[in-house]
Structure formats: structure tokens, C-alpha cells
Structure 1
Amino acid sequence: MNRLPEEKPLEVVRNEIRADAESARSRAPAQPARKPPKTASNTAPAAALRDEFSIPELSQAHFTSFLEQAFAALLRRPPDPAGFDAQMRLLVQGRSKIEILGNLRWSPEGRDIGVRVPWLLPRYVLAKCMRIPVLGYLLEWIVCLGGLPRIVRHQRAADTYHSARHHEVLSAFRGLQLELEAARTEIARLASGKVELGQRLDGLNDRSVQLHAEIERAAIDARELRHLVLSMNHWLASLRQNLSALELAEADQARHADALHADIASRVLALDAGRPARLDSWAQQLAGMLPAGAQVLDLCSGEDWLARLVGNGIEATGIDTNTEVGSRARSAG
């Protein structure tokens, strides 16, 4: 069993309070704490403007919310990292909220601010006395036995609260499960659609390859047809040139033949010594039979006969299959 210290129990409590105060002072910010002005600013939280709080007001929150509210009410500022961690460690170790509130209220900064919390000091001293070896253990037993009904009520309330929270968590979890199942179904549907789209894309790619091959074959056929058309055009041009040459040669040959035939006919007619006299007689007789201004059409009679008709004042037009004869007749007038 641990031995009691030589100091009296109350002195031990005072020493521990002083030690905690010194520890809080060492963890406090470097700048000296200043007592806030009594006039409230528009931007300050409502809790920081009050000078008195009750213990239930300060202890109704839990965990980090409790510490933030305690710092704001008792020190009128947000918690600094070092002080927050120190008080959080005490909460995790099972220390009461009364002890945390007393640490903040009777720290040097808290004493300068001087927020009033009725009945906090005796309960804080009692909480510190519970830390005295042996005596603190017995004192805690007495306090716990005296407050057992309240502790039981608190436990039942905590059980109800945690059951409600557990029910809410389960409901949220079931909702998340339903959403997850719906998401999985949607993912499966999208995966199936992706497979179908992949198959259709593969089909389109195959069709695209076929179309490219067909386009290439059509381009080759078009080039071959173009070469064939160009060859045909060249052949037709050559054929036209050859036909033109043949036509020119045929026309030239026909002219030579007509000239030859005309020469032969002229020589044959020249052998007939009585032809000129006969033609003159016939022309005179015909002129006497025709009325004035009559027109005569001569068919293949020769240029000498046409000359006789014109010489007798007859308007005569000759037609002959021999172009040379016609040319000579036109030249003769």
C-alpha cells in the first residue's frame, strides 16, 4: 500500500493545483494574457462575451466540441495546439470534465479573465483530491457510491443515445449498401454496354477497312478507265486525222479524174467539126421559142453548149457530175 505524503491532504491538493497551473502557464502562448474589454465587439462569439456560466452549460458537449467550448468560454479564445493536446490527453485518460474546466479556469490566463462558474471550485478541489494516493481512491469510492443513482441514469441515457446512434449508423449503412448495390448494377450495365459498344466499334472498324479496300479498288479502276479514255481519245484523234487525209486524197484524186475526163471529153468534142455550127443553130432556135427572161437548166451538156445559150441571151444554169467541167463553165462566165 502506498504511503501518504508528509503534507496535509489539503496542502497536497494546493500543491497539485499550483503544479497544474505552472504546467498550463508553460504551455500557454508567449504573449502575456490580457483581460478582454468589458464592451462586446460585433465579431466576438456570444459565449466569449459572458462573465458567468453554469457547469451543465460547459459540460454538455463532448470530446473536441467540449474543449473548444471550454476554451472559448473560460479563456475567450480558440484552443492553442499545445493546450488542446494536453487537455485531450487528460480526457482520454478518464479524467472528469470538472478537472478540465478547473484547469482552464484557474490557469493564470483564466484567473486574469475571471469568468464565474458557480460550484466549480469545490468540485474542482474534490477532483484534485481524488488524485491523492490511497485517500483519493477512497474518496472516489465514496463519491461514486453517493452518485451511483445519477451514474446509472447517465449510463441508461448513454445506452439509449448510443443505441439511437447505432440505429442511425445502421440505417445509413443500409442506405449506403443500397446505393452501392445500385452503383454496382449501373457499373455492370455500363460494362455490358461497353462490351456491346466495343463489338459495334470492331464491326465498324472492319467495315471501314472493307470500305477503304473498295475505295482503293475503285480508285485503281478509275485510273485504268482514265488511261483507257485517254487512249481512246488519242485513237479517235488519230482516226480523224487519217480520215481527213483519206478524204483529202480522195477529193484530190476525184479532181484529177474529173480533169482527165473533162480533157478527154473536150478532145472528143473537138474532133466533131460540125458541132459548133449545130450548137449555134440550136441555141438560136431555142432562144426564139423561149419567152423573154426565161431560165434554162442544162444537165451535163458541156461547157460549149452553155456558152452558146448565154451568148443568145438566155439565162442558163448548168449541172454536171464532173466538177472540172462546172469549174471551167463558171470561169468562162
Structure 2
Amino acid sequence: MNRLPEEKPLEVVRNEIRADAESARSRAPAQPARKPPKTASNTAPAAALRDEFSIPELSQAHFTSFLEQAFAALLRRPPDPAGFDAQMRLLVQGRSKIEILGNLRWSPEGRDIGVRVPWLLPRYVLAKCMRIPVLGYLLEWIVCLGGLPRIVRHQRAADTYHSARHHEVLSAFRGLQLELEAARTEIARLASGKVELGQRLDGLNDRSVQLHAEIERAAIDARELRHLVLSMNHWLASLRQNLSALELAEADQARHADALHADIASRVLALDAGR
């Protein structure tokens, strides 16, 4: 077995906490030395402005929601990309939420804000002790054996939660299948309607072609009729001129006849007078 370092385990834990704090401080953006005013955290939820949280409150969320809630509660700000990625890597590696909360709470920024989380420190120290070679392995075995009933309850709750989520996913999937089937039916109906509309459009196109042909014929007939009307107008004008000429000739003849009758009458009167 590996030998323990010469330092005391508690000192090792303290050194690890200091190292994690220094690492978190190097990753975090620069913060003022004094406690930031509450007006500077308008983007955080209203609950993040509280001065005290319980461990269950901070650890009930999961994955990214857990980290966002922890940053908002303990640091009173949204997570920065570097700090978020660092803590997410720890979660993916199997580190406990207690260790993540402790990393944030006892970082320089977290100590400066000073949010109270009862019983977090001893559990955080215990989580750090579990990282000590050999001793941490044995300590984790003891903690796991001691907390086995709680782990079993947690596993049952997790199984129930995942079963419920699985049921919700299946229900949502079935709903999507029904919607997909309805969409397919609607698409088939629209396709059938499209074919029918295509046939009607073809019929309208045929009728349109016929109508254009009839319009062309009507235009030709109209042009011929126009020529005929113009010819008739010209003929009527000529007829009017001829009638006017005949009327003038008839009037001249009537005048000559009247003059002749007057001359004959005057001569008859003269002969009667000479007798």
C-alpha cells in the first residue's frame, strides 16, 4: 500500500481547498474587494439575494440547472464560461454536488459574499478528505456503507424519477406519432386535392385556349364588319350626293316648266286681247 504523506490529513485537505480556491480565483473575472451591492445583481433571480440557503435547496436541481442555481445563490451572478466548464468537468468526473457547492462557497469570491449554507463545511471537508490517496478510498467506503440505506432510497427515487421521465417521453413520442400520422393524412389529402386542382387547371387551360380562338374569330369578324360598315357609309354618302343632285335637277326642271307655262299663258292672253 502507498504510504500517507507526512502532512496531517486535515492539513492536506486545507491545502487542497486553498489550491481549488486559487484555481477558481484565477478562472473567475476580477471582482471588487468589498461585498457587491444588491443592485449589481439584477440579472440573478430574487432568491439569489438571500443570505442563507440549505443544502437540499441548492442540490435539488441537476446538471446545468444545478450549476446555474449554485452560481446565482453562492456568487450572486450567472456562471462565467471558464468557471462553468471547470465545475461541469468535475460533475462529469463523478464529483459530488457538495464538493461543487464548497468550491464555489469557499472560493475568494464566495468567501467575500459570505452566503451561509449550514452543514456545508463539514461535508465539504469530508468530500475533500475522500480525495486523499488510500485514506480517501477507505473513508469513501465507510461513508458509502454508512449511507447505504440512503443511497438505496435515492436509487429508488431516481428509478421512479427516470421511469416517470421515460413515461413522459413515451407519451410525448406517442403524441408526436399521432401528430405525424395526422400530418401524413393531411399531406395525402392535399396531394389528392392537388391532383384534382391540376385536372381542373388543365380543363381551364383547354377552355382558355378555346376562348382565345373564339376571341380571335370574333376579332376577325369585327374587322370584316367594320370594313362592311365603312363601305356602307361610303355608299350612303354617295347615295345622298346623288339624291341631292337629282333634287337640284328636278327643281331646275320645275322652274323651267313654270317659266314655260307662264310664257304660254302670257301669249294666250295677248292673242285674246288682239282679237
Please state which band the TM-score falls in when normalised by the shorter chain.
Answer: 0.7 to 0.9
Give unmatched runs, 5+ long, in structure 1. Answer: 275-333
Does 2:100 align with 1:66? Answer: no
Deviation at 1:258, TM superposition (A): 9.6
Of 252-261 and 189-198, deviating more is 252-261
Aligned to 1:96: 96
**1:76-98 deviation per Cα after TM superposition (whole angstroms, max 9, x unaligned):** 22222221221111111110001
Deviation at 1:256, TM superposition (A): 7.4
The 8 Å contact of residues 34 and 112 in structure 1, kept in 2 or not, is answered as yes
Shift in alpha-carbon separation, 1:51–1:7, aligned structure 2, 3 A: same
Mapped partners of 2:273, 2:59: distance in 1: 167
Deviation at 1:57, TM superposition (A): 1.9
Shift in alpha-carbon separation, 1:227–1:42, aligned structure 2, 3 A: closer
3-state SS, counterpart of residue 40 of structure 1: helix
Shift in alpha-carbon separation, 1:107–1:244, aligned structure 2, 3 A: closer
The 8 Å contact of residues 58 and 70 in structure 1, kept in 2 or not, is answered as yes
Greater Cα radius of gyration, structure 1 or 2: 1
Cα RMSD, aligned residues only: 3.5
The 8 Å contact of residues 48 and 73 in structure 1, kept in 2 or not, is answered as yes
**1:83-123 deviation per Cα after TM superposition (whole angstroms, max 9, x unaligned):** 12211111111100010111111111222222222221221
Matches within 5 A, 1:115-194: 115-194=115-194
Mapped partners of 2:131, 2:8: distance in 1: 14
Shift in alpha-carbon separation, 1:39–1:79, aligned structure 2, 3 A: closer
Does 2:228 align with 1:228? Answer: yes
Of 134-143 and 21-30, deviating more is 134-143
Mapped partners of 1:15, 1:26: distance in 2: 16
The 8 Å contact of residues 72 and 78 in structure 1, kept in 2 or not, is answered as yes
Mapped partners of 2:46, 2:256: distance in 1: 136
Mapped partners of 1:223, 1:32: distance in 2: 96
**1:167-191 deviation per Cα after TM superposition (whole angstroms, max 9, x unaligned):** 1111111111111211221222222
Deviation at 1:38, TM superposition (A): 9.2
Deviation at 1:208, TM superposition (A): 2.2
Shift in alpha-carbon separation, 1:139–1:239, aligned structure 2, 3 A: same
Mapped partners of 1:201, 1:39: distance in 2: 68
3-state SS, counterpart of residue 272 of structure 2: coil
Mapped partners of 2:55, 2:187: distance in 1: 54
Q: Compare relative contact order (CA 8 Å, sep 6+) and give the higher one, 1 or 2.
A: 2
Of 205-214 and 237-246, deviating more is 237-246
The 8 Å contact of residues 21 and 106 in structure 1, kept in 2 or not, is answered as yes
Deviation at 1:242, TM superposition (A): 3.9
Deviation at 1:240, TM superposition (A): 4.3
Mapped partners of 1:82, 1:179: distance in 2: 42
Deviation at 1:70, TM superposition (A): 1.6
Deviation at 1:269, TM superposition (A): 12
Shift in alpha-carbon separation, 1:246–1:97, aligned structure 2, 3 A: same
> % of aligned pairs identical?
100
Give unmatched runs, 5+ long, in structure 2. Answer: none
The structure richer in helix per residue is 2
Normalising by structure 2, we get a TM-score of: 0.83
Mapped partners of 2:135, 2:155: distance in 1: 26
Shift in alpha-carbon separation, 1:250–1:134, aligned structure 2, 3 A: same
3-state SS, counterpart of residue 210 of structure 1: helix
The 8 Å contact of residues 98 and 127 in structure 1, kept in 2 or not, is answered as yes
Mapped partners of 2:138, 2:46: distance in 1: 41
Deviation at 1:30, TM superposition (A): 1.4
Deviation at 1:192, TM superposition (A): 2.1
**1:12-44 deviation per Cα after TM superposition (whole angstroms, max 9, x unaligned):** 222211110110111121133422469999997
Shift in alpha-carbon separation, 1:18–1:64, aligned structure 2, 3 A: same
Shift in alpha-carbon separation, 1:236–1:149, aligned structure 2, 3 A: same
The 8 Å contact of residues 68 and 79 in structure 1, kept in 2 or not, is answered as yes
The 8 Å contact of residues 40 and 49 in structure 1, kept in 2 or not, is answered as no
3-state SS, counterpart of residue 16 of structure 2: helix
- The number of residue pairs the alignment matches comes to 274
Deviation at 1:153, TM superposition (A): 0.8
Normalising by structure 1, we get a TM-score of: 0.70
